[in-house]
Amino acid sequence: MIDLSTATIPIDNPFLEKLGVELTSWSPGHAEMRLDTSAELGNRTGRIHGGVICTLLDAACGYCGLYSPPGEPILRSLTLSLTTNFISSGDGATLVAKGYIVRKGRSVFFARAEVWLDDTELLATAVGTFKYVRA
């Protein structure tokens, strides 16, 4: 397991890095990411844009299936499907995305994720199917 809560490292994804997403915990079958909220992430109602939440759900689902120990080959994947359910909205400081493996095969894995606002309010959930990309 890699606990990144005390160190910030690049997550090897230019889009997520541009948004300011941080990978804070990563282990086999699990990934956790954080993103500080800001006005730039809002929609016309002033709430966090659904696209930002979907991005976090997709990333957490994907990364939970990509953990490899240091020194092992890096794994990569593509999203085949992502089903999202928006449950709530709110105002807060930090979005926390948590991803979990449901089932893993040789070329495809299934995952689920949640996005929480300040670790207290569940905003959205997702389930997804991902395909490993071989080098």
Sequence-distant (6+) residues with CB within 8 A of 97 are 31, 32, 33, 34, 35, 56, 57, 59, 60, 113, 114, 115, 116
Instruction: Please name the residues in contact with 59: beta carbons below 8 A apart, sequence gap of 6 or more.
Output: 13, 16, 21, 31, 33, 97, 99
Structure tokens at 68: 């490899």
Distance of CA 103 to the CA centre of its chain: 17
Q: What is the CATH number of the domain that holds 48?
A: 3.10.129.10
Task: Tell me: pLDDT of 7 over 70.
Answer: no
Indicate the average pLDDT of the chain: 91
Q: Summarize pLDDT for 102-115 with one digit per residue, the tens.
A: 999 999 999 999 99
Q: How many domains does the chain have?
A: 1
**Mind listing the pLDDT tens digit for each residue in 29-63?**
999 999 999 999 989 988 999 999 999 999 999 99
Q: pLDDT by residue (tens digit) across 67-82? A: 998 889 999 999 999 9
Range of the domain at 107: 2-133
